[in-house]
Amino acid sequence: MEYRKEHDSMGEILVPADKYWGAQTQRSLINFPIGTEKMPVEIIRAFAVLKLAAARVNARLQPARMTEKKLSAIENAAAAVSDGSLDDNFPLVVWQTGSGTQSNMNVNEVIAGYANALAGEKVLHPNDDVNMSQSSNDTFPTAMHIAAVTETERHLLPAVQILIDTLITLEKENEGIVKSGRTHLEDATPITFSQEISGWRASLEKDAEMIKASLEPLRALALGATAVGTGLNAPKGFDTAVAAEISAITGTDFVTAENKFHSLTSKGELVYAHGALKALAADLMKIANDVRWLASGPRCGLGEITIPENEPGSSIMPGKVNPTQCEAVTMVSVQVMGNDAAVAIAASQGNFQLNVFMPVCIYNYLQSVRLLSDVCLSFEKNCVRGIKANRRKMHENLHNSLMLVTALNPHIGYENAAKVVHKAHGEGLSLKQACVEMGFLTEERFDELFHPEQMV
């Protein structure tokens, strides 16, 4: 491999000749050989947005420093970062400096290096030009918020809506099918299958509403705070103007943070937003568990629904098919719940004017968004849209349920109804047989009162 010499304030260092990064990126690669988790590409894309926005605002507010030539160079390089052309120039791991300084400099160096290579001359300096009016301390939390909002809006919310729409269709297809309800995993009074599905659908709708609401605080950006929140070296009005520019580039609303001292050291907004992701994970866990319980069998379980048979389920038991999509959903849910703990702990570690757990905080948030988006789409495509009611089994289970006796409470009283249940269960009788034998109702009166399909 060929190398070239680059330098920073600490001296010279060799950098691969085919890469655009500079000395600080190279030092990070050497000093942090930790794990395989790279800085999320969504953060790199968000950095491209904020670098472009900052350059445009700097060109308006201080044109002597941000000349048209420099602005054009940054615009071209930022576009290459955004479209993925330079992805192999962002090699840094999550486990680096807690402020994300090295990833900010990675972006600064790549934009400058790429632009200078295209121009055939040194047009941009990574600090003086690409990082103008900025600090790593305000750019990294800004990139976090941009990535969190845009990824959630573009990927997660549409994926959840696709799952909701399929449940709406399923709900309509199964209207009027009465089955046994279950509470505490025990038989309960009847419910329609469409009512059961409506509970799943409404849970996801509520989750989507909470996720949308949780994005609002994330729209406040730290950019303009610079190192400690005072805005040192940023021109007056930079913060407001750059938030407006970021909004224009992304097509979604952002504003400057009202209190920059808060925005550098607190990550409460991300904790709040990830809490909404955890709520979605919790409901997905519940829905997936319901589906696999209802599909359990095929002969020795509940067997009230069938789900698509996507692949063989056992390497030793021929013909076995498992609820694998449900298992994927529940594993994702567990990961998201774990991520929530990591985000909360990271957010609690702000000291004085800065939080230095930001890379791990946004890594976990974006992983949760990615996993939830993917698993909603997979679950919908490979399982939910193929759910079919087993009407025969639902009818059989319904009419075998002892909890149907609840309909008799107004006529024979709770205690007598309980006696009927115990007799029927203990002696293997039907509710009708037990009720008549105990003299609480005649056969004719029992038939008048006992209509399971009308109990929903």
CA distance 397 to 455: 15
Closest-CA residue to 376 (of 149, 159, 195): 159
Identify any residues that bridge with 5 across adjacent strands, giving them in sequence order: 14
Residues contacting 4, CB < 8 A, separation 6+: 14, 15, 16, 17
Closest CA relative to residue 142, chosen from 216, 222, 225: 222
Kind of pairing between the strands at 3-8 and 11-16: antiparallel
* CA–CA distance, 34 with 43 (Å, rounded to integer): 19
Give CA–CA dist 307/323, Å, rounded: 8
Residue showing tokens 């319980």 = 293
- Cβ atoms within 10 A of the Cβ of 319, count? 9
Q: Rounded to an integer, what is the distance from CA 286 to the centroid of its chain? A: 16
- In order, the DSSP letters of 302-365 are ---EE----S---SSSTT----HHHHHHHHHHHHHHHHHHHHHHHHTTEETTEES-HHHHHHHH
Distance (Å) of CA 147 to CA 49, 346, 369, 370: 10, 18, 10, 12
**Active-site residue identified among 314, 422, 430, 451:** 314
184 is catalytic: yes
What angle, rounded to 10 degrees, do the helices at 268-294 and 136-151 form?
Answer: 30
Distance CA 40, CA 146 (A): 13
Angle 292-295-297 from CA coordinates, rounded to 5°: 110
451 counts as catalytic: no
Query: Considering 72, 145, 155, 184, which one is annotated as catalytic?
Result: 184
Q: What six digits make up the tokens of 208? A: 């989507």
Q: What is the residue type of 322? A: N
| Cβ atoms of residues 364 and 390 within 8 Å | no
Residues tagged active-site = 184, 314
